[in-house]
Amino acid sequence: MISLDLQGHKALITGASGGLGGAIAKTLAKAGAHVAVHYRKGQIEADAVVSAITAQGGLAHTFQADLSDPKAAAQLIQDVEAALGGLDILVNNAGMDGVHALVGDDNPDLWEKVVAVDLFGPYYCARAALSHMEKSQRGVIINITSVHEFIPWEGYSAYTSAKAGLSMLTKTLAQESADKGIRVVAVAPGAIQTSINRPVWSNPESLKDLNEKIAMGRMGKPEEIANAVAFLASDLASYITGTTLAVDGGMLIYPEFRHGG
Ligand code: BGC
C-alpha cells in the first residue's frame, strides 16, 4: 500500500487563517505533521484551524506576524523552529489579489503592498527557513503561486507580476538548494472557492463566466490544493524540484480553444 506519511515533520503554513491555508494546515496535520498555523489578522479563523486539528488528535499552534516586514518574517521562522523543535516544510501561502485597477489608474502604494505580501513575504520566509533546513540537510519549500504566474489578468498587474516573480524565485532557489537536500516547488491554483474570490462566485453571472474559463467547468475546492501540497511535501515527491504543479481544473489548457481558432 502506498502511504503519504508526514509523521515527524514540522510544517509552517503562512496565511493559514484563510480558506486555502487552513485546508493545507489540516491536510498536512492529517498526514502526521506538526503544524504552525500563521495568520496576520485572522486570529479567530486561525484558532478554529488549530481546534479542528487538535480535535482529530493532531498537533498545531498559531503564530501571528506581518510577513511584509522582513524582521517579523525572520522572527516568525525562529519562533516556529523553537516551538516545534525544527522546521522542514515551509508553505508560503499567504497572499492577496489586491484592488482591481488598470496601470495608471492604480495607486503605487497599493501595488507595492501586493508585491510585498505576495513576493517579498515568501522570499523573507524562505531565506530564514533555509538556514535551518541547511543544517539538517532536509526540507521542502512550497510556494503557492497561481495560474496568474502564466495568465495575464487585467486590473491585477501587481498580483501577476508578484506571482510570476515567485515562480522564478522557486526555480532559482531550487537550483541553489538541490545539493543541500532541499526541494523547492510551486503549486499554481486556479479558481479555488474561498473568500478571496467571493465577489465572483457569489454572483451567478460572473460565476458562469469564470466556469467557462475552466476546462472542467467548475471551481476547485481548497482540499484539492491541499492534497497536491501534501504530496509535494512528502517523500513521494522526492525527485521533484524547481517546477510548478498547476492544480486548476484545466484553466491553463485554454478551454476557449475547444471551438474555432
Ligand atoms: C486568484 C483568484 C482568482 C483565480 C482565477 C487566483 O490566483 O486569487 O481570485 O479567482 O486566480 O482567476
pLDDT recorded at residue 156 = 98
pLDDT recorded at residue 127 = 97
For atom 12 of ligand 1, which residue has the closest CA?
A: 191
Q: How far is the CA of 107 from the centre of ligand 1 (A)?
A: 21
Query: Which candidate, 132, 191, 142, places its Cα nearest to that of 169?
Result: 142
Please give the positions annotated as active site: 159
Q: What is the pLDDT of residues 107-139, one digit of tens each?
A: 999 999 999 999 999 999 999 999 999 999 999
When pLDDT is averaged across residues 185-198 and rounded to a whole number, the result is 97
pLDDT recorded at residue 241 = 99
Which residue reads 504530496 in cell numbers?
231
Residue 195 binned pLDDT confidence (cut-offs 50, 70, 90): very high
pLDDT recorded at residue 39 = 98
When pLDDT is averaged across residues 171-177 and rounded to a whole number, the result is 98
Total number of residues shown for the chain: 261
pLDDT recorded at residue 130 = 97
Query: Which candidate, 77, 88, 86, places its Cα nearest to that of 138?
Result: 88
pLDDT recorded at residue 198 = 96
58 lines ligand 1 (CB under 6 A): no
Which residue reads 543544517 in cell numbers?
135
pLDDT recorded at residue 152 = 98
Q: Give the CA-trace dihedral at 65, 66, 68, 73, to 10 degrees.
A: -10
Residues 40 and 46: their CA atoms lie apart, in Å, by 9
Residues 229 and 239: their CA atoms lie apart, in Å, by 15
pLDDT recorded at residue 14 = 98
Q: What is the pLDDT of residues 246-259, one digit of tens each?
A: 999 999 999 999 99
Residue 65 binned pLDDT confidence (cut-offs 50, 70, 90): very high
For atom 4 of ligand 1, which residue has the closest CA?
A: 191
* Paired residues of 60 in beta bridges: 35
66 lines ligand 1 (CB under 6 A): no
27 lines ligand 1 (CB under 6 A): no
Q: What is the pLDDT of residues 204-259, one digit of tens each?
A: 999 999 999 999 999 999 999 999 999 999 999 999 999 999 999 999 999 999 99
pLDDT recorded at residue 235 = 97
pLDDT recorded at residue 114 = 98
Q: How far is the CA of 128 from the centre of ligand 1 (A)?
A: 28
What is 10-248's CATH superfamily?
NAD(P)-binding Rossmann-like Domain (3.40.50.720)
Q: What is the pLDDT of residues 14-60, one digit of tens each?
A: 999 999 999 999 999 999 999 999 999 999 999 999 999 999 999 99
190 lines ligand 1 (CB under 6 A): yes
